[in-house]
Structure 1
Amino acid sequence: MPSAAPQVDIFIPCFVDQLYPHTALNMVKVLEAVGCQVHYNPAQTCCGQPAYNAGYKAESRDIANKFLADFAAPVSGAPRYVVSPSASCVGMVRNAYSHLFADTPEAAQCGAVQQRTYELTEFLVDVLGIAAVPQARLAGRYTYHDSCSALRECGIREAPRRLLDAVPGLERIEMAETTTCCGFGGTFAVKFEAISVAMAQQKVEHALATGADYIVSTDVSCLMHLEAYIKREKLAIKTMHIADVLASGW
């Protein structure tokens, strides 16, 4: 871990801001607990992913331009990282932005922001070298859901499991087909509701078969989708974002 306090600009996605603000607060707790100095720009809004996935490229570029401005690095001082509790948004910045700003005057600025942008668990493990969050405590068994964005867009698989396995009292039991999509997919859940719900059912059934108490993931969008199915069916399993797990017990 760097000797000086790492400087972190947090990006809070729309889902977290509107529906799961406690997850954002818990991410801040975790980052501060491992020695980071956290900064929040209240002017931030969206990364542009909803518009991009719906085919509105010009509109999504406008939103992405604002993101680049909101998270421009200071002219001087220590390096600043952009950290988010959403692999989905990080995947948008890392991948779609390259297409949105290809051969544009903003391409260089885009590249600079992309290089500084991380999902929470990969930042903790791969950048800071954190093996465990010492204060975390949670009793029970968990099964892990690899979100499509985390696994396929960001290459994140081991970092969250490593952090979770280091939480005292927590035991991992892998579910079948952990890498299969949960069925949310943003507008996919709206356009293809029946298929989306069937995919959520399959994912939850795999999780229940493990006997786990919790389904944990890096993406609240996936967890929101699964949670809705769980609540509708009154099933005995809970969903937790990994930031909430790492901030538990203190």
Structure 2
Amino acid sequence: MIRRLGIIGAGGMSDTVLSALSEALPAPLEAVSLLVRPGRQEEGTALLERFGDRLAMRRVVHDECGSFLADAPDLVAECAGHGAVGEHGEAVLSAGADLVIASTGAISDDGLHDRLKAAAERGGAQLILPAGAVGGIDALVAARLSGLEDVTYTGRKPPRAWRGTRAEALLDLDGLTEPATFFEGTAREAARDYPQNANVAATVALAGAGMDATRVRLIADPGIARNLHEVSVRSSAAEFTIRLEGRPSSANPKTSLTAGYSVAREVLNRVLPVVV
């Protein structure tokens, strides 16, 4: 059971996680520490102080990983993007803290994945991949044990959610009048080419058939207002399709709000007496 929590990042996802925890924790944690980039200490302090003692009795902001880890967090949740996984992941796991990563697409890089696994073994810690913005991950993992035949993930988002990605060079996002599929390939390719939007593809792949055997389609759809995630699975044990319509984060429309709550669930599962 955790008493000391670390959070990497002080943006919209961290806000979602901490807000959910402050409402759902049966008692305040002993300590919550934030790791932020230099120059963002005031922003991190303001975020923690919004939740006050109902979140944790001690609340600290760090801009350097060494001092962050000196607080000895039991569990660290990464809420800061792919770069943060590569920058801090090994140090966190080597220090013996379990690490929940929201940016699962980062470990589509086999080299980083191997380094994180080795660090977890050295530190006696776990690298934890939350379900994020999609449902059915528990069923997918169970189906994998029976033998998977086919896994396909389809991500459908409003055109504005694809701004700032390679899709801008492929489509007239502002001029779309009907759905347009702009990417079809493997989960590894999706995570590489669309890192801010393809964490779900990586999560589905890592839970199921792997990065190179999981098929991905990405679609810009002007007829929808929310992000739609669909996972279709065929296995020896079951065939199923999961469709989830998620509200986009107000802080970042490329990210589903569900992703932050999924991270909060992973934390709560290490605090509450009953785990679901």
The interval holding the TM-score normalised by the smaller chain is: 0.3 to 0.5
Q: TM-score, normalised by structure 1?
A: 0.37
Identify, as 1 or 2, the structure richer in helix: 1
Scaled by the length of structure 2, the TM-score of the pair is: 0.35
Structure number with higher strand proportion: 2
